[in-house]
Amino acid sequence: MSYFRITLTRSGIGLTKRTQGVLKALGLRTRMKTVFHPVSPEVAGQIMKVKELISVSEVDRPLTIQELKAERKPDPGFYMEKAMPRGWLEGRAILGIVFILEYNSTKPKGLAVRYMGVARRLQTVSDVAGE
């Protein structure tokens, strides 16, 4: 069975009540909302009433909300081949290193390092290595 995939691309604000009623009957309330309806003459007539506001495609099956979200998710741009082992710095797990910069200086004023969720302020890079 085929389905119409209908996405509202333009808002119905300022249009006639009849047009807004068609959008409501299709289940389209907000922009970029996607709904699926089975292919039928009734739905095709509603689509023709608001064809300037929507984009329509025909699909084999309706998608779930999770599948729609997965479609919108962009490619991460990288792939993790092998993760670094935990505690890679002398048995300490570093959760994050934050450089604290002064506004008019390019040299870091200090480092803020988070060990196991506890924040420490360090003055030199040698403090990070534990030397």
CATH number of the domain at 3-72, please? 3.30.1390.20
pLDDT at 88 over 80: no
Would you place residue 21 in the very low, low, confident or very high pLDDT band (cuts 50, 70, 90)? very high
CA gap 80, 120 in Å, rounded: 29
23-27, 49-53, 73-77, 88-92: lowest mean pLDDT where?
A: 88-92
pTM above threshold 0.75: no
Domain boundaries for CATH 3.30.1390.20 within the chain: 3-72
Cβ within 8 Å of residue 97, ≥6 positions away: 111, 112, 113, 114, 128
Residue 131 pLDDT more than 60? Answer: no
For residue 68, give the 3-state DSSP assignment.
helix
Q: Which burial class, exposed, middle or buried, applies to 43 when counting CB atoms under 10 A from its CB (0-12, 13-18, 19+)?
A: middle
Structure tokens at 82: 């092998």
